[in-house]
Amino acid sequence: MVAMQECIFCKISSGELPAKIVYTDRDVIAFEDINKEAPVHVLVIPKKHIPGANKVDKGNIELLGRLVYVASKIAKDKKIESSGYRLVINSGKDAGQDVLHMHLHLLGGRKFTWPPG
């Protein structure tokens, strides 16, 4: 596991690394993805270091529900609420998870295909 001191998303949430922050509260922060895959591409993360979906437990279920809640609010702010959007959590190697700090991708502003690649 990546040590928390080395985690880029922990550094963004502490302000040590810059990011285009679009939302923040006590427990959650959201910022623009540095390499956008769609006109709207925002990452919503818990400020607390949770490595990924495998590490969801009874103590953080509510926090993770709030990621979806925050993403829906940002979708509204970005005016993609009615056109639609996709929420993605990549977990592990086969899904292509690169950053081992759990994050919810909010993607929108274009049409997506299904099944995903």
87 touches ligand AMP by CB under 6 A = no
Note whether 49 binds Zn ion by CB under 5 A.
yes
Scan residues 24-53 and list those touching ligand AMP (CB under 6 A): 31, 33-35, 43
β-pairing verdict for 85-88 and 40-46: unpaired
Which is closer to ligand AMP, CB of 34 or CB of 61? 34
Which amino acid type is present at position 8?
A: I
The single residue among 98, 113, 114, 116 that binds ligand AMP, judged by CB under 6 A, is 98
CA atoms within 13 A on the CB side of 4: 7
Which of the choices Zn ion, ligand AMP, none does residue 62 contact, using the CB cut-off of 5 to 8 A by kind?
none
How many of the other CB atoms lie within 10 Å of CB of 39?
Answer: 11
Alpha helix locations (H) across 1-117?
Answer: 8-14, 61-77
The CA–CA distances, whole Å, from 29 to 56, 67, 75, 93 equal 18, 9, 15, 24
Asked whether position 82 contacts ligand AMP by CB under 6 A, the answer is no
Judged by CB, which is closer to ligand AMP: 35, or 82?
35
Residues that bind Zn ion (CB under 5 A): 7, 9-10, 49, 101
